[in-house]
Amino acid sequence: MTQAPLTDHQTLSDEALAQLFTQARTHNGWLDREVPDALLRQAVTLALWGPTSANCLPARFVFVRSKEAKQRLAPALAPGNLDKTMAAPATAIVAHDLAFFEHLPRLYPATDARSWFAGNQPLIETTAFRNATLQGGYFLLALRAVGLDAGPMSGFDNAKVDAEFFPDGKVKSNFLINIGYGDPAKLYPRGPRFAFEEAASIL
């Protein structure tokens, strides 16, 4: 593929929009079908191309796949999220690195962006949370783009996950995503959405 920016400005096909948005669903049950590590790696690599403030890339992704790792995660889960998470082929912990700014001399060499953050804890925390959550959104759509299904969740004890998976205290969990090939038979009814005018306005 060429590195030149695209200039054709076409809307994606209806099939692609369906896979990403209009027919994609949050899954709660999983088919017995293997999820190759290569697809998880591809989804992360795609998501990393998404924009962040000063290219700060604060998101960290931990894939909980093995039985041992799942057992470490289990005590932190809300009861309603336990069984589906244990059954998922993989569960991603989407987290952010509060030391993200130490990488800015390499990631954003145009200026001394590290100095914007060093010592400014509120700015560090807001920037890490905002941008890593954006990256979580890119990652969720990247999973769908490589043909996987996702089941994102906020129902867990962040402090327990942090103590177990990020004991150095610099990385903080944000949300979880169960990943696999979803079982359509286990979908819940789809929730309604706002009409454009309820969520947006043009001035």
What residues from 14 to 33 belong to the interface with its own copies (CB under 8 A)? 14, 16-26
What is the 3 state secondary structure string of 65-78? CCHHHHHHHHHHEC
| Residue among 83 and 111 whose Cβ is closer to its own copies | 111
- Which of the residues 35 through 54 are near its own copies (CB under 8 A)? 37, 40-42, 44-51, 53
b/e for 36-67, b at 16 or more Cβ within 10 A? eeebbebbbebbeebebebebbbbbbbbbbee
Minimum CB distance to its own copies, residue 187 (Å): 6
**CB of residue 159 vs its own copies: minimum separation in angstroms?**
13
> Is residue 156 within 8 Å of residue 85, measured between CB atoms?
no
Quick check: 170 binds its own copies (CB under 8 A)? no
Binding footprint of its own copies, residue count (CB under 8 A): 92
For residues 9 and 119, which CB has a smaller minimum distance to its own copies in the complex? 9
What does R_g of the chain's alpha carbons equal in angstroms? 18
Chosen residue from 77, 88, 98, 142 binding its own copies by CB under 8 A? 142
Q: How far is the CB of 201 from its own copies (least distance, A)?
A: 6
CA angle 130–135–139, rounded 5-degree value: 150
